[in-house]
Structure 1
Amino acid sequence: MADFHGRVLVLGANGETGRHVIASLQGKQIPARAAVRSAEKGDGLSSPTTEIAICEQLDGESLTTALQGVSAVISAIGTRSMSDKEIIEESEHTTIVNLITAAKKAMVKQVVLCSSMSTNMPERIPPLTHILRAKRRAEEALITSGLTYTIVHPGGLSNDQGGQGVFVAPHPLPTSGMIARQDVAEVLVQALLQSEARNQSIDIISLPDQGSATRQGLFKI
């Protein structure tokens, strides 16, 4: 078990997965900074251990400000656009490249990136091809950045209750599956707490007999 100290910046904190990330950090009393585009989007996120950072656009300047005093980053950013290539590129690739640059300057210890299964074969899912390609380029930028990283590729996301079995495999997993957002969020947080997660790229899906996302040895694959 890693000995984590410091504050965690959560990008995409107001999203469906990001809110679960914040809840997990709060439950563990880990100091967090929730990056949101407006005060309204930060509703319900603040707590004695969680502060809000308003970033109207996640460009280099705003990221530099948000990273002050931060030890690690969890990115749960994801675009809702399926077709606007400009929005997809900005959300899925450009923001992560800007994050990498700012994180290196801030001497961040670890970046945990929530990506998606099938980034190795973006043509496999035609409606998501543009998104998966952008995600893959973001992954490649992080892997070659020199930063300590963990890249998590969840299967199809559901809003089911978490706490079910989570199967973890090296990326790419030659199959598909579903997983609850709550479990994805817990894996992202556990990546900070378990040293085996460092510099790993993994796929995760729900399987009932695998043990929960909080189990020790989650990343021993």
Structure 2
Amino acid sequence: MRLAVTGASGKTGWRIVDEARLRGHQVVPILRPNSQLPDGLVADGLPLKRLNLADQNALVAALNGCDALLIATGARPSIDLAGPLKVDALAIRDQITACRRAGVKRVVLVSSLCSGRLFHPLNLFGLILLWKRLGEQWLEASGLSWTIVRPGGLKEAEEQLEREGIRFSGPNQQESSSIPRRLVAQVCLDALELPAAIGRILEITSGEDVPKQTLADWLIENPTSAI
């Protein structure tokens, strides 16, 4: 498939790009005009699409011909408390609109565990979890074929990932724990390739004490989940 990845310069985004290429997909990395490239993305040597997500014409042009969009954009801590509103809600709406215009029907969104929760320490940063949930809701109501992936705390570790089992659940069932970003990227690609993942919110954490299970197997055992 030809896949677009927004937030491609981010710590999770470039790993999604990398995993997609390892699986033989053609990738269109989309990133902000002034984003610095991580070493992992520089090494790929891919042609990059630098644009403002609010620039509809530029975003539609980047998405044209793509089979799916993986959204890995996310607000970063800063003094701008409106950042989460802009990035985790309004920019999601802009990407949904662009997908409709470009004919991209399949979308996987990387969100966060505890999305929508009011009383949470993360909300000290511009009510980020509330804006993430609004972005999710707009995607759910978009008419697109969507999957929302809510990872726990994100880890940079790349070593010994084979020891980690992934704990899958439906929405609002996990509250803590963590997961390496590389495993998040792999789950996003798995979800993209599994029709049973469409219309699902997937919460994921991992640990060496978690039994190994694939997303495909978990979806068979859990065919529906209440939102």
Does 2:190 align with 1:190?
yes
Question: Given that residues 34 and 42 in structure 1 are in contact (C-alpha distance below 8 angstroms), is that contact kept between their aligned partners in structure 2?
Answer: no
Q: How many residues are matched?
A: 214
Shift of 1:191: 1.1
Determine the structure 1 residue equivalent to 2:129: 132
- Note the residue ranges of structure 1 that are not aligned, 5 or more in a row: 1-5
Question: Given that residues 26 and 49 in structure 1 are in contact (C-alpha distance below 8 angstroms), is that contact kept between their aligned partners in structure 2?
Answer: no
> Per-residue displacement from partner, 1:97-140 (whole Å, max 9, x unpaired)?
01111101222121100000111313222434611111010000
Distance 2:143 2:32 in 1: 28
Determine the structure 1 residue equivalent to 2:61: 65
Question: Given that residues 61 and 102 in structure 2 are in contact (C-alpha distance below 8 angstroms), is that contact kept between their aligned partners in structure 1?
Answer: no
- Pair 142,31 (structure 1): closer, same or farther in 2 beyond 3 Å: same
Shift of 1:79: 1.2
Shift of 1:172: 1.0
Determine the structure 1 residue equivalent to 2:176: 176
- 2:13 counterpart (4, 14, 18): 18
Distance 1:80 1:189 in 2: 23
SS of residue matched to 2:127: helix
Distance 1:148 1:191 in 2: 11
Distance 1:49 1:82 in 2: 30
Show structure 1 runs of 4+ deviating over 4 A. Answer: 46-50
Once the two structures are superposed, the pairs formed by residues 106-185 of structure 1 within 5 Å of their partners are 106-125=102-121, 126-128=123-125, 130-161=127-158, 162-163=161-162, 164-185=164-185
Shift of 1:81: 2.3
TM-score w.r.t. length of structure 2: 0.85
Shift of 1:212: 6.0
SS of residue matched to 1:100: helix
Q: Which deviates more, 68-77 or 84-93?
A: 84-93
> Per-residue displacement from partner, 1:49-86 (whole Å, max 9, x unpaired)?
9432121x111222111111111000111111255232
TM-score w.r.t. length of structure 1: 0.87
Shift of 1:39: 7.9
- Note the residue ranges of structure 2 that are not aligned, 5 or more in a row: 223-227
Distance 1:36 1:144 in 2: 25
Q: Which deviates more, 32-41 or 62-71?
A: 32-41
- Pair 154,48 (structure 1): closer, same or farther in 2 beyond 3 Å: closer
- Identical columns (%): 28
Question: Given that residues 168 and 219 in structure 1 are in contact (C-alpha distance below 8 angstroms), is that contact kept between their aligned partners in structure 2?
Answer: no
Distance 1:170 1:128 in 2: 25
Q: Which deviates more, 60-69 or 121-130?
A: 121-130
